[in-house]
Amino acid sequence: MTRHLNTQYIHAGLPGEKTDRFIGLTGAQIFHEMMHEHGVQVMFGYPGGAILPVFDAIHESSYFKFILTRHEQGAGHMAEGYARVSGRAGVVLVTSGPGATNTVTALQDANMDGTPLVVFTGQVATGAIGTDAFQEADVTGITRPCTKWNTLVKDIRDIPRRINEAFYIATTGRPGPVLIDLPKDVTADVLTEPVCTGIHLPGYHVRELGTSSEIERAAEMINRAKTPLFYVGQGVILSGAHDVLRQCADKGNIPVTTTLQGLGAFDENSPLSMHMLGMHGAAYANWAMRDADCVITVGARFDDRVTGKISAFAPAARQAERDGRGGLIHFDIAPEQINKAVPVTIGVEGDAKKNLELLLPLLDHRDRVEWFAQLHKWKADHPFAYEPDDREFHLKPQAVIEELHRQTDGDAIVTTGVGQHQMWAAQFYKFRRPGQFITSGGLGTMGYGVPASVGATIAEMIAAERENRPRRHVINIDGDGSFCMTGMEMTTAAQYGIPAKTIILNNDFQGMVKQWQDLFYQERYSHTEMHNPNFVQLVEAMHVKGVRCTKHADLADRVKEFLEHDGPCVMDCLIEKHEHVYPMLPAGKTVDDMVLGPPSANK
């Protein structure tokens, strides 16, 4: 992400001097040149009438590769996957009306998960705005709640500056999506005079550093703590703070738990790792949060899937706060996140990497023998577990993920849809580095996985070529429900020769909803049973290789065949349909109410 200013505050600059380098170009041609200036490598989208001047200007562009998706939502999720792996803003180009509104799901997804997107939408001519013209929609009004910033450009002279502002806002502070609406007459117009290109956002600033007193107070609290715990979210990944986080954990001898989106921020093979916490997180991670007298939250936002019943969240830290010997510390670059869901003892606004670098030299080493003895016992007694099954059509989904982990040596980039398969992937694939787990967290968007894997694969291909190294596998672990929503994007992968791969954990149900119906609705399966197509035949019609696995005895061979295929591939695994995700923390309950699952998980 763009974090290039070494000052306490990042301020948007002034418009600057005018330039004449765009004189004689159409608005669409200026757009093309601006994409080159911002180093855009790939763009995702779908054409239409209102945006045709721009599509004509980028015809056979030598600046970047354009990926024609099968749906605008798919374009948005591809751009998200690309952004999450590359660290650059994902760029989307679509037309007006339904083309723009189809991106709303991806915009809100990116907004909740802090993913930088720059979305350009076509719009009817300025004179027709407000007349209910063909394919007109109030795009800036519709997307205002789900973007970090948006704007309607009504004058060709504003195009360069607005594009600069868009990339700046998307990639500074807490990253997020921005949108620029481009009327057709503006992109077709020809510039006749010099224009200013410098950004001018007087109301926008980002604080980079916390105060020295905040950092010192945080260090004192951590050093006094008997049972401290790092609680880490995606902000660590976005800021590039994973290495300094490791140094802080090692120096202070402090265990680390991560959110779903924080997976990869801390090596899960480390003895300090407590793995994922939350609704379907490790029992030991949730109990550690309960018993920690000092919770050091970095780049996480106290999501309800982590906190459960807020009034009962982190009781030991709350008691330690009252006793004056501990409490909750929150490092976050977004000031609105601090004290929003959970009141904290110390709030430190700013960039996670920069503030942890200030914290590191102030930390003291503590042995904390009793704390680690308790943590190790919990981990040994309550691992993520399942009961194996060798019967045909009863393939265990956890076994599929364990075999994938074994054959990829834990080095794959994993994307997911949303549901049971997402939780199993988070539990049974151990993540070691940032950018390795790409999923929809806050919005919980079914259908995210397939297009995100296409975008992530493109980013990995570019990185591997640039770094002159072998390309890592990018694997989408999906459910049949999620795949049915956006599976047509495998056709996009086939068209462009993108070796995106998907494993479908197919139980012929909307599995997570079924689990709730099993547990809380007396097994009344109201509209959750899926009547799926033959996925192998379906993807082969898309020019994608299909593989099927129905039993554990064939699993290793089928995964090997799936991984060794050098093009896009889908593996359909027919799994046990009554399998549940455990542990489970029921909504609104406390960690003492966790359902631990089968006997093997409750030794």
Q: Catalytic pick from 33, 41, 64, 135?
A: 135
Domain termination site, one of 334, 355, 381: 381
Cα–Cα dist 552/557, whole Å: 10
Please tell me whether residues 416 and 317 are part of one structural domain.
no
Helices 283-291 and 369-381 meet at what angle, rounded to 10? 150
Please tell me whether residues 186 and 258 are part of one structural domain.
no
Please tell me whether residues 232 and 159 are part of one structural domain.
no
Confidence of residue 17 (pLDDT cuts 50, 70, 90): confident
The pLDDT of residue 597: 82
Please tell me whether residues 166 and 216 are part of one structural domain.
no
- pLDDT tops 90 at residue 38: yes
The pLDDT of residue 7: 35
Please tell me whether residues 174 and 244 are part of one structural domain.
no
Q: Is 279 a catalytic residue?
A: no
- The side-by-side arrangement of strands in the sheet containing 149-152 is 65-68, 42-46, 90-94, 117-123, 177-183, 149-152
CB 503, CB 562: distance < 8 Å: yes
Q: Is 529 a catalytic residue?
A: no
**Which CATH number characterizes residue 459's domain?**
3.40.50.970
Which of the two residues, 409 and 15, has the higher pLDDT score?
409
Which position has the token pair 């020809």? 190
Please tell me whether residues 191 and 216 are part of one structural domain.
no
What lies within 8 Å, CB to CB, of 445 at 6+ separation is 77, 105, 106, 109, 418
Domain termination site, one of 175, 205, 235: 205
What is the average pLDDT across 25-37?
98
Cα–Cα dist 367/371, whole Å: 9
Report which of 515, 530, 484, 531 is spatially closest to residue 420, judged by C-alpha positions: 515
Residue type, 488: M
Please tell me whether residues 36 and 164 are part of one structural domain.
yes
- Residue 386 domain flag: no
Please tell me whether residues 239 and 270 are part of one structural domain.
yes
Q: Is 512 a catalytic residue?
A: yes
Cα–Cα dist 72/53, whole Å: 18
Q: Catalytic pick from 8, 18, 134, 603?
A: 134
Flag the least confident range among 63-77, 527-541, 580-594: 580-594
Which residues are 45's β-sheet partners? 68, 93
Cα-based angle 570, 575, 580 (whole degrees, multiple of 5): 125
Per DSSP, helices labelled H in 333-479 are: 352-359, 369-381, 397-408, 420-428, 449-467
Q: Catalytic pick from 22, 34, 66, 184?
A: 184
- Residue 594 domain flag: no
Please tell me whether residues 177 and 298 are part of one structural domain.
no
Report which of 123, 46, 31, 36 is spatially closest to residue 78, judged by C-alpha positions: 46
What is the average pLDDT across 257-272?
98
Q: Is 72 a catalytic residue?
A: yes
Q: Is 17 a catalytic residue?
A: no
**Which CATH number characterizes residue 295's domain?**
3.40.50.1220
- pLDDT tops 50 at residue 130: yes
DSSP state for residue 11 in the 8-state scheme: E
- H/E stretch holding 42: strand 42-46
The model's pLDDT over 480-503, given as tens digits with 9 standing for 90+, comes to 999 999 999 999 999 999 999 999
The pLDDT of residue 589: 84
- Residue 603 domain flag: no
- Residue 422 domain flag: yes
Dihedral in degrees, nearest 10, Cα atoms 46, 52, 56, 61: -30
% of the chain residues with pLDDT over 70: 96
- pLDDT tops 60 at residue 9: no
- Residue 490 domain flag: yes
Please tell me whether residues 270 and 310 are part of one structural domain.
yes
The model's pLDDT over 424-444, given as tens digits with 9 standing for 90+, comes to 999 999 999 999 999 999 999
**Token digits of residue 127:** 């004179």
Three-state SS letters, 272-311:
CEEEECCCCCCHHHHHHHHHCCEEEEECCCCCHHHHCCHH
Flag the least confident range among 151-160, 300-309, 573-582: 300-309
Please tell me whether residues 191 and 217 are part of one structural domain.
no
The pLDDT of residue 3: 34
What lies within 8 Å, CB to CB, of 541 at 6+ separation is none
Domain hosting 26: range is: 9-205
Confidence of residue 409 (pLDDT cuts 50, 70, 90): very high
Flag the least confident range among 225-234, 468-477, 587-596: 587-596
Q: Catalytic pick from 1, 22, 55, 72?
A: 72
The pLDDT of residue 13: 56
Report which of 159, 63, 138, 75 is spatially closest to residue 110, judged by C-alpha positions: 75
- pLDDT tops 80 at residue 601: no
Hey, is 178 helix, strand or coil? Answer: strand
The pLDDT of residue 586: 84
What is the average pLDDT across 590-603?
73
Indicate the average pLDDT of the chain. 95
CB 367, CB 253: distance < 8 Å: yes
Q: State how many domains the chain has.
A: 3
The model's pLDDT over 181-225, given as tens digits with 9 standing for 90+, comes to 999 999 999 999 999 999 989 889 899 999 999 999 999 999 999
CB 455, CB 44: distance < 8 Å: yes
What is the average pLDDT across 347-372?
97
